[in-house]
Amino acid sequence: MNLLDGKIVSQAVKDRLKAQTEERMLNGKKVPHLAAILIGNNGASETYVASKVKSCAEVGFKSTLIRFDEDVTEQNLIFKLTELNEDFDIDGILVQLPLPKHISEQKVIETIYPEKDVDGFHPESVGRMVQGLPAYYPATPYGILLMLAHYKIETKGKHAVVIGRSNIVGRPISIMLSKNEYPGNCTVTVCHSHTHNLKEICLQADIIVAALGIPEFLKADMVKEGVVIVDVGITRVIDETKKSGFSIKGDVDFKEVAPKCSFITPVPGGVGPMTIAALMMNTFKACEAKD
């Protein structure tokens, strides 16, 4: 069993971006600038946004963190997004999800200009991605591709089973893995909450992407020997032994499943850091596009 180590790969991506950003500065070019919007005080969202801002500093990007109270109106949020859209210095805009219930996620996503949509959630970005046109790929699936490529995982002709069909992970990674280029050319099966015989389908998989959000769902008897497993799940589970009071669990029962795998991502330290590295890549590209 080999680890697909998100810490190592994300560091390699960030080192490259740092060198490229320094080169831009030396050439008198614009430095990438990410604007992040955080609403309320959700612990997990706070952690994610803090990591994104920290990563910007690590690679030499500018970042602006804009905070709103939980009761911010949709109108005020849209107004701020419109301002950021028009601000030349801002290259990428991200709004940390989930949003409070009174704000329409779709409306927020569609307000961000596609050229600043570094999370890759805008329908135009998704449409371009589906058609194989240059686009900002959603950060988590893009991070998964970067990781597979780093470890030179063979994907051509492989049967990839994706568990989950959300707009941010399952659906886009299933499309990306079926693309006619590396890492892709897989035969993809998308499974979801209405799938029958999930175990039988998983047993046929050469590659499994688990993105359903149920801790330790995938067990050893559901996978074949030599499978490559990408565990996207991040669930906080109460854990009295931890200072924080919780531990992070993936969707795969790592202890049971790992011995059967050729490659597997750990949780934490797998897909999570890759998501941030991919976001940095998108922000860099958004800045470069203005040259």
Residue numbers at the binding site for ligand NAD (CB under 6 A): 140, 163-166, 168-170, 191-193, 195, 198, 211-214, 232-235, 271-272, 275
Residue whose CB is less far from ligand NAD, 24 or 126: 126
- Catalytic site residues? 52, 96, 119
Residue whose CB is less far from ligand NAD, 59 or 222: 222
Q: How far apart are CA 1 and CA 198, in angstroms?
A: 24
CB of 61 to ligand NAD, least distance (A): 19
CB of 250 to ligand NAD, least distance (A): 8
Q: Kindly list the distances between the CA atom of residue 37 and the CA atoms of 63, 94, 95, 105, 124, in Å, as whole numbers in the listed order.
A: 11, 6, 5, 13, 21
CB of 235 to ligand NAD, least distance (A): 5
CB of 278 to ligand NAD, least distance (A): 9
Residue whose CB is less far from ligand NAD, 20 or 195: 195
Q: Residues 10, 13, 16, 20: is their CA dihedral positive or negative?
A: negative
Residue whose CB is less far from ligand NAD, 80 or 142: 142
Work out the angle at residue 186's Cα, subtended by the Cα atoms of residues 177 and 150, and round it to the nearest 5 degrees. 60
Contact 108, 100 (CB under 8 A): no
